């Protein structure tokens, strides 16, 4: 068993911790168990984990506030959040803050194992990815989870980085709002909000302001696509549906 097979379990309830660890063991993975935010950060700073399973409400804080720090420096690749906060808004918030998946308690052992398998497959595939994705002077550093244009660092949020990475890995291909919800937010339903358009808009503005050119483009009726703006062409900023208001919060 190597450290790449060890899953970090962050759960303060003993029975739930045992259930999570048993699920991992049943799939052939070792576990390292801690019960607080502070212990989780200490563990991630000591070694690397392909996956962390986080209880959201811990004795010393809300685990959503841990996500960026856990990923810093490659300490944790994937994040599965488990929580009794089961409202769609809680789930969307957790995913928006950088979790790869969000499982509401109570859940079946079969569903838990399926989520773990999927995230571990993604982590294993990620090890084979190139560390750098380069588009002209724009550089996306996969392991460090940072973006640079020439010598300049472009500050973006964890969710914006995941969005950009998915765009970059599908460069030139129009991606629908539903594809982005499924692959970046791990939502297999439309939450009836404009979360995709808001994040795409923010990311697009950041890239344009830092590089002086357009990178994310709208193809009406198809979706958004990523690529450097062709010479001499200007981008018209808008949402996928342009004037549609069906996904705008009321």
104-113: per-residue pLDDT in tens? 888 899 999 9
- 160-170 mean pLDDT: 92
Higher-confidence position of 203 and 70: 203
pLDDT of residue 130: 55
**What CATH fold (topology level) applies to the domain 132-226?**
Arc Repressor Mutant, subunit A (1.10.10)
d(CA 176, CA 169): 15
Strand residue runs (E) in the chain: 6-10, 30-34, 49-55, 57-58, 61-62, 76-83, 101-104, 132-135, 138-141, 146-149, 152-154, 216-219, 223-226
Question: Is it the case that residue 29 has pLDDT exceeding 70?
Answer: yes
State the span(s) of the chain assigned CATH 3.40.50.2300. Answer: 3-127
pLDDT in tens, 119-158: 888 776 655 455 778 887 888 988 888 999 988 999 999 9
Residue 176 near residue 223, CB atoms below 8 Å: yes
Question: Is it the case that residue 249 has pLDDT exceeding 80?
Answer: no
What is the biggest distance separating any 2 CA atoms in the chain, rounded to whole angstroms?
A: 62
Question: Is it the case that residue 74 has pLDDT exceeding 80?
Answer: no
- Bridge partners for 224 per DSSP: 175, 218
pLDDT in tens, 190-246: 888 899 999 999 999 999 999 999 999 998 888 999 988 754 444 443 444 432 333
Token pair, residue 122, equals 């993604």
pTM listed for this prediction: 0.58
State the span(s) of the chain assigned CATH 1.10.10.10. Answer: 132-226
Q: Which CATH superfamily is domain 3-127 in?
A: Response regulator (3.40.50.2300)
Higher-confidence position of 27 and 230: 27
**CA of residue 182 relative to chain centroid, distance:** 11
| Closest C-alpha to 16, from 109, 86, 118, 78 | 109
d(CA 185, CA 28): 27
107 — phi, psi (to 5°)?
Answer: -140, 160
């Amino acid at each position: 068993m190597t450290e790449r097979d060890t899953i970090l379990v962050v759960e303060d309830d003993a029975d739930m911790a045992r259930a999570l660890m048993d699920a991992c063991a049943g799939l052939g993975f070792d576990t390292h168990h801690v019960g607080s935010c502070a212990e989780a950060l200490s563990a991630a700073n000591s070694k690397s984990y392909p996956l962390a399973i986080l209880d959201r409400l811990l004795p010393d804080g809300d685990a959503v506030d841990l996500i960026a720090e856990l990923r810093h420096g490659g300490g944790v690749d994937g994040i599965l959040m488990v929580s009794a906060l089961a409202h769609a808004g809680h789930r969307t918030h957790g995913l928006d803050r950088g979790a790869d998946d969000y499982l509401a308690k109570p859940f079946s052992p079969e569903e838990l194992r399926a989520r773990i398998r999927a995230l571990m497959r993604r982590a294993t595939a990620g090890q084979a990815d190139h560390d750098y994705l380069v588009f002209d002077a724009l550089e996306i550093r996969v392991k460090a989870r940072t973006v640079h244009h020439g010598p300049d660092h472009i500050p973006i949020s964890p969710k914006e980085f995941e969005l950009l990475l998915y765009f970059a890995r599908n460069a030139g291909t129009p991606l629908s709002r539903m594809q982005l919800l499924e692959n970046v937010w791990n939502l297999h339903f439309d939450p009836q909000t404009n979360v995709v358009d808001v994040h795409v808009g923010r990311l697009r503005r950041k890239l344009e302001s830092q590089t002086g050119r357009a990178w994310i483009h709208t193809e009406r009726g198809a979706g958004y696509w990523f690529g450097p703006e062709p010479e001499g062409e200007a981008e018209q900023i808008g949402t996928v549906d342009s004037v549609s208001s069906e996904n705008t919060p009321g």
